[in-house]
A and B are shown apart, each in its own frame.
Chain A
Amino acid sequence: MTTPLSHGDGPLYADPSANHAREFFRTKPRALVDKLMSVKDAVTCFVHDGDYVAVGGFGADRLSSAVCHEIVRQQKQNLTLSGHTATHDFQILAAGNLTGHGKLIARVDAAYIIGLEARGLSPHARRVMESGEVESTEWSNYVLAARFKAAAMGLSFLPVRSMLGTDTFRHSAAKEILCPFTGDKLLAIPACYPDVGVIHVHEADRFGNCRIRGTTVADPDLARASKKLIVTCERLIPSDDIRSDPTRTVVPFYCVDAVCEVPFGSYPGNMPYEYFSDEEHLRHWLEVENDPVEYKKFIDKYIFGVSDFAEYLQLCGGLPRLQKLRQEEFLLNRGR
């Protein structure tokens, strides 16, 4: 039973060429130098209009909220996003569309967008996607993770066994191939080398050596796949700590371009072993999006009206609120 091999019709937004990537990585700095800077400077230096941007974590879990806010605040334009479990990250970045600040999101590789899991769908993100002003190509979560993995391996594609036979495949940019050994049909998925990757980690030294506690999701591959990488960390640690236990380093310094210390940097998302998600704030954000006028006021206050993430945290209740979320993470508030 041989059927002709087919391919998805969706546009491919990132160049999968391993040779082009090698040319870039040949020039990427490898020196063990201090990369500490502010989030503002990191976004100014490393995120450019038209870039392909990949954000790590899993939706609101271990999310670099600070960088997402800064990208919106600096009104970056015409970005392509990797919609890999993009929940609150997509919701933040969508504030740059249909709000009088141009068009921040222009294209999206969509595996999971618009939703915030069990919390519901983002009304504003829906408006943005349903307006037709954002182009999209469909994928699945694993396939986007595997596209980062292919890039981290220095390849141009990997074969997988999902998406076959579905509209997700037909609206993707993947191609069916036959295994050269078994003849089985497989799906070839293009490597994804983002222009800039953004991850939030527990600890990093000033050179960019990173530690993550809990699930890594796709971050180690995303970090290696990205041409430029911005790391935000809960805590800056001495480089001696890194060298005292190198088994804990999940992203090495030579992948990293910027290190920004942002305590509570995943707020209002969850940071495992640090603080739980602020469900009240996330619910408020979802509700206020129902009314475009109120929503505009909301982002003017929480994103455009502050100069940095610390000010946003202050607006959201500051340390007392964050300490409560820490207690919740440690399950200390059960039944209270």
Chain B
Amino acid sequence: MYNPMELMICCAARLLENGSTVAVGTGAPCAAAMLAQRTKAPELVTFYEAGGVAPLLPTMPISVGDSRTFYRAVMATSMADVMETCQRGMMDYTFLGGAQIDPFGNLNSTMIGKDYKKPKVRLPGSGGANDLASFCWRILVLTNHDRRRFVEKVDFLTTPGYLTGPGAREAAGLPPGTGPYRVITDLAIMGYHETTKRMEVLNLHPGITLEQVQANTGFVIAAREPLLTTAPPSEAELRILRDEVDPLRYIIGRG
């Protein structure tokens, strides 16, 4: 048996290739990177935006800048150094989240409401998300799947996905060849259509139907053929995740 959070973390970990670079935050993305390092990607290089490079995490960090993020690291540097490594084109993946995501993978983490000067709900803002989504080759999103989150139009476009569609990132001046790659939820794994750049379903998690995914998505979502079924977590993945990555169940306990 496994819970949805454990499955999401396994799906994310499987995407990270050995020898690649990833800018991670705290929480589930951090767990995914740790799991990847203990399974198929021992040479995965992790970066934390406050300046931690390739730490050997002794425990889950609480903050993207706390001392765990550079525990036995190869370098403790600056935010500009990490972000400029991304801007130079050396960051393969980043993990992001948000209060809202639209069909083109644009994210909102700034505000809910119509009036910027008087928001219904004020949220933190971009943080480093806009920078990472602008610079990193492939953007990964880990999030729960519901209609409040998956919306036709975000209230505030904090962080760029494919913006208005094909060619829009390049026209805006963002580095060519970058953009959203996968969205991993508790129901499915989504990718983006090669020409329309709209989100589409690639994998359904075990026991989930396409209708369920559509019912929990606030915009029309198609499936890419052939639609695959996600492999459940292996015994080895679950053992490592539970015993080594998150023994105190900070993250997987939320599943």
Interface residues of A (CB under 8 A from B): 1, 3, 57-62, 83, 85, 87, 110-115, 117-119, 121, 126, 129-130, 132, 138-143, 145-146, 149, 160-168, 171, 176, 184-187, 213-218, 220-221, 270, 272-273, 276-277, 279, 329, 331, 334
Contacts and interface: CB of A to CB of B under 8 A. Distances in A.
A130 B134 contact: no
B134 A163 contact: yes
Contacts of B117: 132
Nearest to B108: A167
A216 B63 contact: no
B226 interface: no
B128 A140 contact: yes
B126 A168 contact: yes
A111 B127 CA distance: 5
Contacts of B128: 112, 140-142
Interface stretch (B65-73, B181-189, B191-199): B65-73
Q: Would you call the interface of chain A mostly helix, strand, loop, or mixed?
A: loop
Contacts of B121: 126, 130
27 contacts: A57-B65, A62-B65, A111-B126, A111-B127, A114-B123, A117-B64, A118-B63, A129-B119, A129-B122, A132-B118, A138-B110, A139-B125, A141-B131, A143-B131, A145-B79, A145-B80, A149-B80, A163-B130, A165-B172, A171-B116, A185-B172, A213-B76, A215-B50, A215-B51, A215-B70, A216-B76, A334-B59
Nearest to A149: B80
Interface in B92-136: 106, 110, 116-131, 134-135
Contacts of A273: 67
Given A112-B125, A112-B127, A164 B174 contact: yes
A217 B50 contact: yes
B128 to A, nearest CB: 4
B119 A130 contact: yes
- Residue in A117, A121, A129, A273 with the greatest tally of chain B CB atoms within 10 Å: A117
Given A114-B124, A164-B134, 4 more contacts: A61-B67, A130-B120, A167-B110, A272-B67
Contacts of A187: 173
B15 to A, nearest CB: 22
Contacts of B83: 141-142, 145
Interface of B: 26-27, 49-52, 58-59, 62-67, 69-70, 76-80, 83, 87, 106, 110, 116-131, 134-135, 156-160, 163, 167-169, 171-175
A265 B116 CA distance: 35
Contact of B51 (A83, A165, A186, A216): A216
A163 B51 CA distance: 20
Nearest to A131: B118
A146 B83 CA distance: 10
Nearest to A329: B67
A329 B222 CA distance: 49
Contacts of A143: 130-131
B160 A114 contact: no
B110 A214 contact: no
A140 B50 contact: no
A168 B79 contact: no
B78 A217 contact: yes
A289 to B, nearest CB: 14
A112 B79 CA distance: 14
Contact of B58 (A3, A213, A331): A331
